[in-house]
Structure 1
Amino acid sequence: MATLAPHQEMQFTHWSQRLPDDALAHIPGEGGWPVVGNTFRMLADPHGFAQRMYSTYGPVYKNKAFGGWQVAMIGADANELMLFDRNRVFSSEQGWGPILDKLFPRGLMLIDFDHHRADRRALSIAFKPEPMRHYSGALNRGIAKRVEEWGAGDMRFYPAIKELTLDLAADSFIGLPWGPESDKINQAFIDMVQASVTPIRAPLPFTQMKKGVDGRAFLVDYFTRETHRRRAEGGGQDMFSQFATATREDGELLPVDEVVDHMNFLMMAAHDTITSSATSLIWLLAKHPEWQEKLRQEIEAVTGGPGADGKPRDLAYEDLGKLELTEMAFKEALRFVPPVPSMPRRALKDFEFGGYTIPAGAAVGINIHLVHHQEEHWDNPYAFDPMRFTPENVKARHKYAWVPFGGGAHMCLGLHFAYMQVKILMAQLLPRYRIELEGGRDPEWQPWPIPKPRDGLKITLKPL
């Protein structure tokens, strides 16, 4: 075990504070090219890069990218240590800060401990049963209308579902149609997500980071105006109205700028991660028609089949839990293509893992995608098998081997909304169409920052 120098006593209060160069000398790894480190290697093939580093150096290694050193901790035990964080060692705010600080400051992922707990409790009102029941009605209406409009034939699923999730967010989250600003809002979210992993971290003219920062400014103005309007007009069942009127334990309303930041972040998370995960599920069901048929039969058994008009019936809020196979298939898709492939933190205290002492101030992270494909947890990990998620199999597996929604205090606040939206999508889509990959060809996936098929996922919908 290495002996650490006195720098371990430093207090790291902001992610921009750096460890001395010798602080991680005892951790195996590599720094890559001068100046840029391994940044471009990681961006070119993040999963292959992580697998090579893990195979070479083991479950703890260091890597230089995006201007600094990071320590990767690989495995279900690492996931549990960092996400459960019983000793408050790991700062999510300082972990995500270098990536998201200019774009999504003060979102739930970028605040820690007591502040995070207070805001999360205030915002959780938007995910209570009555608001969720309201969202389910809006989702059924919006998804049924759009899926019918898609019609039979060839389509690119990713841009279609991305547009749909944005419209659904407008209805369920905002409670009104976007109107003429919809294209600007959509582009702002795209620019902000892409800016999160651009190698140039300053918002210089004509850079992706400048586009992302400008997108944030546009959305801050939009949500600020809307927050004041919601407070003046009173509450509503949509998520934004719930946030705008949310109070902390002392009864005080959340400050307007914090409501705006939370809304901005949660809209991005819901818009982009649900788009990614719904796309991966459709891709895998198109590849495995036998599972597509199993889900179709389950859905029709739960909803009662077509209504008097011959169209699929709505999926009732009370029936969401009955779609067990559908949920298992979705969980397997989330294992196969987790929408957040890796997760950063920063150590606020020295800690031990994998035979190493990792010092306070170190940027650390887990690799969700890699653990989701480790053979020690998953037989034949590159095969699609929803039966991995039967209650018996889940109970027998390490609790933190599957963490697409994170875990611990920072577990995704909207995970039940994601399950609901995807189940309703399947309930409206599968009874209408058989889904096939256009030409039988698998797409190439862009793995970062949020996975998506480069060709938009070309599929064919065939009427049943």
Structure 2
Amino acid sequence: MATAAADMALGSESPPEHFSEGKVSARDLAHIPGEAGPPLIGNTFRLLADPHAFARRMFETYGKVYKNRAFGSWHVALIGAEANELILMDRHRNFSSEQGWGPTLHKLFPRGLMLMDFDHHRIDRRALSIAFKPEPMRHYAGSLDAGIAREVWGWGGEMLFYPAIKQLTLDLAAESFLGIPFGPESAKINQAFVDMVQASVAPVRKPLPFTAMKRGVDGRAYLVDLFTRETHKRRAEGGGQDMFSQFANATREDGTLIPVDQVVDHMNFLMMAAHDTITSSATALVWKLAQHPEWQEKLRQEIVAITGGPDAAGEARGVSYDDLGKLDLTDMAFKESLRMIPPVPSLPRRALRSFEFRGYRIPAGAEVGFNVHLTHHMDEYWDAPFTFDPMRFTPEQVKNRHKYAWLPFGGGAHMCLGLHFAYMQVKILMAQLLQRYRIEIADGYAPEWQPWPIPKPKDGLKITLRPL
């Protein structure tokens, strides 16, 4: 298998070349194929209308390296597993996540872990990782199982799955992360996160009155106030098993507490990820299991074999923390749904030095990015890539595939810190759901999905939960 090293050669390993805070120009990228789009607006609206179709057309027209002008600047797309490895492994510290995400998220999620680089990222990631160690995770598992069982018990019949699971994941994040129920503030908190995510791809980038960006900035201000009060409260109270208490009292390598405003920024970002991206991922899996009842039944049988099935009163037995690793088919089906509908379809970076990839010189300062969704649907790595087939994720299949052909959780130093939490929550959800109901959809039903920034079915996903 070709490696990234065979296709690229970095420039000097000396300190990053200085570049202007301004954007690279068309002249800087004249040697790279691609499109500028219409004057002034570039390809912004073409990209927003259907980002997956736009990326595929550009890739099929120009190849694995192309340029595109959108949102007021030029971007260079690097496509394929080798490009993903080059950027994510970043052995020479050449790609800035902070400067890549910054133009999009700096007003909304500043100083979130995803927006940090190098040593700063490593230090804070290590401090925050305490919340994802085995004992806290075991505690979260019990809380998740109880909360999911309580909510799923009241489901059944025809329903819109996406808003129901979004509310549930928000409530679960409150219990696991904050250790408290949200109560009457729940709707306002949920709306704040919705507004912030939608603002991330708003064409108008300034928080002008009545714009999506203004709603996003206002949502952030509300959450900053809430989480600041909670951080001071957790520090005054001392220890706690919930994630927020552990973040609030986490120390860096030198023994100092993370500053309050930075704890708040981390919590803001992680809360968004813990309910928006898990909501998207769980909805994708439910959709695929509804489409493929044979796989739904395989998962149900696996779960019953491990839990023992419903108890004498007909109540679903939860899956224990120690048994989560035994749900192999559930794991494979989840991975396949993440392949088909990754929760973060593309990822940006900014080049700190000029570098070469596949014969093209990309200048320092260029905004570069890789496309997760496109990689997940490339014939080069996947047979029949638009077909749902969890058997792609047997150990043998995984071993024979490029490591960076599947990356719904990123990779390298920026691998999603909460990926095991996501797996745990979705497996617990499946254990409770599939022991109680058969997931059904109407014949020929195929909802349209909003593809970006976080995928979701536009109609909420109409399903029927038929009691077993």
Same-fold call, TM cutoff 0.5: yes
2:391 aligned residue: 387
1:271 aligned residue: 275
Residue 280 (1) aligns with residue 284 (2): yes
Q: Given the alignment, which residue of 4, 20, 24 partners 1:19?
A: 24
Return the alpha-carbon distance in structure 1 between the equivalents of residues 23 and 291 of structure 2.
47
Q: How does 1:209-228 map to 2 (within 5 A)?
A: 209-228=213-232
1:180 is displaced (CA, Å) by 2.0
Residue 345 (1) aligns with residue 352 (2): no
Return the alpha-carbon distance in structure 1 between the equivalents of residues 259 and 307 of structure 2.
43
Residue 128 (1) aligns with residue 125 (2): no
1:17 is displaced (CA, Å) by 2.7
1:64 aligned residue: 69
Greater than 6 Å deviation, 4+ residue runs: none
Aligned-partner residue type, residue 116 of structure 2: I
**Could you give the per-residue CA deviations for residues 34-83 of structure 1, whole angstroms, max 9, x where no partner exists?**
11100000000101100010011100000000110000000000000001
Q: How does 1:355-434 map to 2 (within 5 A)?
A: 355-434=359-438
Return the alpha-carbon distance in structure 2 between the equivalents of residues 79 and 110 of structure 1.
18
Return the alpha-carbon distance in structure 2 between the equivalents of residues 51 and 350 of structure 1.
26
1:439 is displaced (CA, Å) by 4.5
| 209-218 or 439-448, larger mean C-alpha shift | 439-448
Contact 2:17–2:352 (CA under 8 A) maintained in structure 1: no
1:376 is displaced (CA, Å) by 1.0
Aligned-partner residue type, residue 324 of structure 1: D
SS at match of 1:381: coil
1:423 is displaced (CA, Å) by 0.1
SS at match of 1:365: strand
2:192 aligned residue: 188
SS at match of 1:413: coil
1:443 is displaced (CA, Å) by 0.6
SS at match of 1:119: helix
Q: Percent identity?
A: 75
Q: Given the alignment, which residue of 115, 123, 138 partners 2:120?
A: 115
Return the alpha-carbon distance in structure 1 between the equivalents of residues 321 and 116 of structure 2.
32
**Could you give the per-residue CA deviations for residues 207-260 of structure 1, whole angstroms, max 9, x where no partner exists?**
000000000000000000000000001111111001000000111000000000
1:236 aligned residue: 240
SS at match of 1:11: coil
Return the alpha-carbon distance in structure 1 between the equivalents of residues 19 and 408 of structure 2.
28
Return the alpha-carbon distance in structure 2 between the equivalents of residues 441 and 9 of structure 1.
52
Q: What's the TM-score once normalised by structure 1's chain length? A: 0.97
**Could you give the per-residue CA deviations for residues 366-415 of structure 1, whole angstroms, max 9, x where no partner exists?**
01000100011100000000000000000000000000000000000000
Contact 1:154–1:438 (CA under 8 A) maintained in structure 2: no
Aligned-partner residue type, residue 450 of structure 2: Q
Return the alpha-carbon distance in structure 2 between the equivalents of residues 176 and 9 of structure 1.
46
Question: Unpaired segments of 5 or more residues in structure 1?
Answer: none
2:177 aligned residue: 173
1:99 aligned residue: 104
Contact 2:339–2:376 (CA under 8 A) maintained in structure 1: yes
Q: Given the alignment, which residue of 203, 210, 215 partners 1:206?
A: 210
Return the alpha-carbon distance in structure 2 between the equivalents of residues 419 and 259 of structure 1.
24
Q: Relative to 1, partners in 2 of residues 1:303 and 1:265: Cα closer, same or farther, differing over 3 Å?
A: same
1:21 is displaced (CA, Å) by 3.9
1:451 aligned residue: 455
Residue 252 (1) aligns with residue 256 (2): yes
2:5 aligned residue: none
2:159 aligned residue: 155
Return the alpha-carbon distance in structure 2 between the equivalents of residues 18 and 371 of structure 1.
27
Residue 29 (1) aligns with residue 38 (2): no
Return the alpha-carbon distance in structure 1 between the equivalents of residues 301 and 183 of structure 2.
38
Return the alpha-carbon distance in structure 1 between the equivalents of residues 394 and 263 of structure 2.
39
1:46 aligned residue: 51
Contact 2:24–2:74 (CA under 8 A) maintained in structure 1: no
1:322 is displaced (CA, Å) by 0.2
Q: What's the TM-score once normalised by structure 2's chain length? A: 0.96
Return the alpha-carbon distance in structure 2 between the equivalents of residues 19 and 156 of structure 1.
45
Contact 1:200–1:209 (CA under 8 A) maintained in structure 2: yes
Question: Unpaired segments of 5 or more residues in structure 2?
Answer: 1-7
Q: Relative to 1, partners in 2 of residues 1:306 and 1:55: Cα closer, same or farther, differing over 3 Å?
A: same
Aligned-partner residue type, residue 122 of structure 2: R
2:4 aligned residue: none
Aligned-partner residue type, residue 94 of structure 1: Q
Q: How does 1:255-334 map to 2 (within 5 A)?
A: 255-334=259-338
Contact 2:198–2:212 (CA under 8 A) maintained in structure 1: yes
Contact 1:153–1:461 (CA under 8 A) maintained in structure 2: yes
Return the alpha-carbon distance in structure 1 between the equivalents of residues 329 and 33 of structure 2.
43
SS at match of 1:61: strand
Aligned-partner residue type, residue 426 of structure 1: M
Residue 55 (1) aligns with residue 76 (2): no
SS at match of 1:438: coil
